Amino acid sequence: MGKKIVVALGGNAILTDDPTALGQQKVLKETAEKLVALVKQGHELVISHGNGPQVGNLLNQQMNADSEINPALPLDSCVAMTQGSIGFWLQNAMNEALKEENIDKQTASIITQCLVDKDDPAFMNPTKPVGPFLTEEEAKTVAEKDGSVYIEDAGRGWRKVVASPKPLEIIEYPIVENLVKNGFITISAGGGGIPVIKTEEGIKGIEAVIDKDFAAAKLAELVKADYLIILTGVDYVFINYGKENQKKLEDVTLTELKEYINQNQFAAGSMLPKVEAVVNFLENSPNAKAVITSLDNIANLKDELTGTVVKNNNYLENAI
């Protein structure tokens, strides 16, 4: 029986060494060919993706072209633009891969908003670097102009930092649910979704960056996914990484994973957000499973879940 699967693509599934549109389309073609293996097995597929390099490049272009008659667009609009461009490329790549396999399905991209709390503590301590490197003088000039925050980044220059609040809701998730129910593959919550807050005037974009894995976990929770699969550059998560007693994690309970987090086993900004996203998903989805693995390993799902597979302690094996 097919499962409802939310797949969160890592950066290497979109961009490698060639940042051009053609270069990224080539990588996404290869990615789509691997994802179609899940569709062939009868699974319902919801795809999420990152946009870090793409939105950074776009911010560079915006800043370089900024003028009174052509002002730079805000970060929320840049997230929306990169959601659209990556969604366009990936949607076409998926549809072509489906056609090659004679699968009668279509893919739809959803420009997705992610609701956050305007009082999230992250807004008091912006830490997520975005955009170009500037000199200290340039950074001070821009900060005085628009109130943005810049920090010195490892001797490479000064870089803007923004908040990374936790997602409360994926606003368009009912649309995703409905499309999946009607047999469509969906691409949504790209780049973590467009960060928005509720105001008296309605929904409003805000300058922030939502972690893509946390957004994918929230989406998986809301659409009641059976599996959340977070794709990264390795087949397994490791503890004691790089040491003589290094160990790969295969079947892990939620309690065990939390204990490894408490032991500081996972690097911040690397594997830690992925395992924290898995924890968030499983705490709200008791009869689901989560997997962290590589894109190359994903076709093995046809036999059994492989990679680092996490489930609740009281998971019912016959629940899904």
Q: Which of 3, 4, 10, 11 is catalytic?
A: 11
User: Is 212 assigned a catalytic role?
Assistant: yes
What SS3 class is residue 78?
Answer: helix
User: Is 274 assigned a catalytic role?
Assistant: yes
Inter-residue contact 44 to 3 (CB < 8 Å): yes
Number of other CB atoms surrounding residue 27 within 10 Å: 19
User: Is 10 assigned a catalytic role?
Assistant: no
CB-side neighbour CA atoms (13 Å) of 186: 27
Cα dihedral sign for 312, 220, 174, 80? Answer: positive
User: Is 128 assigned a catalytic role?
Assistant: yes
Q: Which of 128, 157, 205, 297 is catalytic?
A: 128
CA–CA dist 47, 295 (Å, integer): 13
Closest CA to 131 of 144, 122, 143, 120: 143
Residue 224 zone, left/alpha/beta (φ > 0; ψ -120 to 50; rest): left
Inter-residue contact 148 to 142 (CB < 8 Å): yes
Q: Which of 3, 4, 160, 212 is catalytic?
A: 212
Q: Which of 12, 92, 287, 300 is catalytic?
A: 12
Q: Which of 274, 289, 307, 311 is catalytic?
A: 274
Name, in order, each residue with C-beta under 8 angstroms of 223's C-beta and a sequence gap of 6 or more: 4, 6, 46, 173, 176, 177, 180
Inter-residue contact 130 to 192 (CB < 8 Å): no
Strands (E), the chain: 4-9, 44-49, 107-109, 113-115, 128-134, 149-152, 158-162, 169-170, 185-187, 194-199, 202-205, 227-232, 237-239, 247-249, 251-253, 289-294, 308-311
- 190 DSSP assignment: G
Q: Which residues are the active-site residues?
A: 11-12, 128, 212, 274
